[in-house]
């Protein structure tokens, strides 16, 4: 079996473009705006970076982004 090299950046960009097209279709043809809700518990810096990234990508795709922060206790 021959290994196939995948260009991860190109693949992810094409996927993001496809998602954005599907979001635009939902908004234009069905008057639906999809969204992503994220619940962040505590103050873990790595989790904060991850949540920020997801929010940015969600908005870039034309979706709504909701973030809910809860205390760790």
Number of residues that this document lists for the chain: 73
Mind listing the pLDDT tens digit for each residue in 41-65? 999 999 999 999 999 999 999 999 9
Residues 6+ away with beta carbon under 8 Å from 69: 40, 41
pLDDT at 73: 82
pTM, two decimal places: 0.79
The CATH architecture one would assign to domain 8-70 is 3-Layer(aba) Sandwich (3.40)
Mind listing the pLDDT tens digit for each residue in 6-45? 999 999 999 999 999 999 999 999 999 999 999 999 999 9
Residue with tokens 């709504």: 64
Residues 6+ away with beta carbon under 8 Å from 63: 23, 33, 34, 35, 36
């Amino acid at each position: 079996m021959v290994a196939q090299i995948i260009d991860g950046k190109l693949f992810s960009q094409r996927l993001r473009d496809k998602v954005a097209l599907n979001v635009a279709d939902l908004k234009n043809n069905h008057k639906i705006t999809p969204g992503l809700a994220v619940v962040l518990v505590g103050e873990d810096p790595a989790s904060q970076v991850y949540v920020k990234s997801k929010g940015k990508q969600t908005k870039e795709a034309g979706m709504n982004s909701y973030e809910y922060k809860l205390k760790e206790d």
